[in-house]
Each structure stands twice: as structure tokens, then as C-alpha cells.
Amino acid sequence: MHKCVCINQSILSPAQLDSPVQLCGRYPSRIIKGDVTTVYSDNTVDDCITRCDAAGFNYAGVEYGDECHCGTGYATSSIQAAPDSDCNMSCPGDPEYTCGGSWRIQIYKSPALPPGSWTLEGCAVDNSTSPAFQNPVHANFSSNVDIVEDCMDYCGHWGYGWAGIENGEDCQCSLAGLFLGAQIVSMDQCNVSCPTHYGYNETCGGPQRLMVYEYDA
């Protein structure tokens, strides 16, 4: 199932909600732009997301248990969140989970990036006084994988357009990318070998040095 993080602020803007991680907001309904609504007697969160994805919509919402909403964004400039307790109707296809409520909708955003490729941008200083990425998300992988490819795949899957690897093990993803004024240094400083068993040499950043990749669609 897509990861869902419930939002519980009183007022949220679309910019705050447009996170590549699956954000689930519980809001008064009719806020999805271009809303196409279908009723399914076996509705689930997963099935609704799958149906919306297949129809080319990157937003999905479940409401009133059996309603699946698909759209292209948010239809209003500010969104009033509802209490979690308002989303109290079980999904008919999987009663373990809730599918919104009466005039309450749970919204999911499809995170995948459009087709494109990753470009190496350079080696950046990354420490507490001079961080490289804005609001990075960190991930670690086992030592028997191609960490460069896996890191880029991971970031891309969750919709992040920037990826970086530090000190051979720390994969970082960012939506906003490098800080303005981030220190770009010689590639020689990103000299830690990647922990890979694929028979070729690759470097994965260095101590406080981030190997930076940007996604081009």
C-alpha cells in the first residue's frame, strides 16, 4: 500500500501538500481539480490509486467508503483539514482501512517522476554549517547493491528530482535541490568507493562530501 502520512493542520496550501511522499490529507470534499468520481462496491485505497494512475491522473482520493476520486491537483488555494476522526468509513473492499467519510476525503498524490534521466552535477560540501541539499530525506541500502542506481531509483520513485550519495552509504533525496550558495568542490574530494559487487569502480561521495545528481525530464 502507498505510504500515507496524515496531515492535521488547520489550513494548508497546495504547495505545502505537494510532497513527493504519499501525503494523505483528511479534508472537506470537492477539493480535487478536474474531479472524476466513480463509485465502487469493492473500493480500497490501493485500487483507487491504481485506477487513477491508469487513467493518467496523479491525484487520487477516497470518500464515503465507496467513492474513488481522480484529478490533476487541488481546486482551491487553501485547504481546511478535518479531524482524523471524521474519516471513519471503512473501505468496502478492505474494512481494515478507512476510505474517507461523509464529505471527508483522503487524498493521495502519485509520486513518480516523468520519463527522463539523471545527470551528475558534481561534488558538494555537506555538513551542519554548510548543508548541500534543502530538506533532505535519507535512505540506506545493503552493501550488496549498486547504491548509485538504487539511490536514484529510490529518489525517483518518491518523486524527488535530486539525489546524492555521501561517504559510500548515505543516500539523500531532495525536492528543492541544492541550497543557494552550496559549496561545489573538486570531484577528487568525492573519492570514497561505492560498496558494490558489480566488478566496476564507482565513487559515492566522501566524508562530508555529497555526490550530486539531478533528474532531467
Whole-number Å distance between alpha carbons of 176 and 181: 14
Split into its structural domains, the chain has a count of 2
In this structure, the answer to whether residues 147 and 101 fall within a common structural domain is: no
> What's the mean per-residue pLDDT of the chain?
79
Cell 541500502, residue? Answer: 141
In this structure, the answer to whether residues 132 and 101 fall within a common structural domain is: no
In this structure, the answer to whether residues 125 and 205 fall within a common structural domain is: yes
- Please tell me what DSSP assigns to residue 67: E
The answer, yes or no, to whether residue 84 has pLDDT greater than 80, is no
| 24-38, 62-76, 116-130 — most confident range | 116-130
Q: Which residues span the domain enclosing 43?
A: 5-109
Mean predicted confidence (pLDDT) in 17-25: 40
In this structure, the answer to whether residues 44 and 133 fall within a common structural domain is: no
pLDDT reported for residue 100: 86
In this structure, the answer to whether residues 81 and 139 fall within a common structural domain is: no
The answer, yes or no, to whether residue 43 has pLDDT greater than 80, is yes
The answer, yes or no, to whether residue 83 has pLDDT greater than 80, is no
Encode 52-69: b = buried (16+ Cβ within 10 Å), e = exposed. Answer: beeeebbbbbbbbbbbbb
pLDDT digits (tens, 9 = 90+) for 157-170: 777 899 999 999 89
In this structure, the answer to whether residues 83 and 127 fall within a common structural domain is: no
Higher-scoring residue by pLDDT: 60, 58: 60
End residue of a domain, out of 79, 109, 139: 109
